[in-house]
Amino acid sequence: MDLKLFSIDSIKSSIKPANFSFTGNLSHDDGIQLFLLSVSEASTVTIRTWSYSGGKNVAGEIVPAGGFDPILTIFDYKGYFINESDDIDIHAGEYDAQLIQNLVGGYYILAITQYPNTAKLNTLANAFLEGSGESKFNGRTCRMALDIHNVNAAWPISSKTSFILFGSGLLRLAEMIRKLFNRGAFRMLINKLLISMLR
């Protein structure tokens, strides 16, 4: 699956909490890939990337090393910052990210960005204004891979996703996503999405 296309067909869901794997490419150095997560009841959710050091993901696929240095950030359905993770163990050279978070039932937004593009403010709409400051992924690739454990559904978010969210009654979340994708940093990405849809 190429996450650059933000395919709604990529929705992954389960009646019971389950584990999901995603692979793809970050669009550019300042890119932000968002995911919508659904949790049916209070649980501990674990999210782990494999793009930097590589390894075997929960789907049993071997992920090659060499991808960019990732950061994981999670927000609630109103777009408020909850937590973030950069390196699993910087002293051991484990630059992949792992986020273990206790969550109540509801919807959440997960963001994956390139270091040091961290959330500077406490709302999703204003979190990543400064970008990474990196060029050409600091000599690494744009490849990303992550596992999301113990959620009921997980799927990539795009400007198209926001229309589906309106149908789900999540009006505030949908409007926030719409505004985020209208921001200047996403114009190139949206143009690519529209081009791919017209092909």
Model pLDDT for residues 118-150, shown as the tens digit of each residue: 888 788 877 787 777 878 898 999 999 999 999
Domain membership flag for residue 99: yes
The domain of 87 spans 17-157
Provide the number of structural domains found in the chain: 1
Q: How far apart are CA 183 and CA 87, in angstroms?
A: 28
Domain membership flag for residue 196: no
Domain membership flag for residue 181: no
Q: How far apart are CA 81 and CA 21, in angstroms?
A: 23
Residue 164 is predicted with a pLDDT of: 44
* Alpha helices per DSSP H over the chain: 159-167, 171-182, 187-198
At 175, give phi and psi (nearest 5°). Answer: -65, -40
Q: Which tens digits make up the pLDDT trace of 55-100?
A: 999 989 999 999 999 999 999 988 889 999 999 998 888 999 999 9
Residue 2 is predicted with a pLDDT of: 35
Higher pLDDT, 165 or 92: 92
Q: How far apart are CA 2 and CA 159, in angstroms?
A: 16
Residue 117 belongs to domain with CATH number: 2.60.120.380
At 69, give phi and psi (nearest 5°). Answer: -80, 110
Enter the pTM of the model.
0.76
Q: How far apart are CA 48 and CA 72, in angstroms?
A: 8
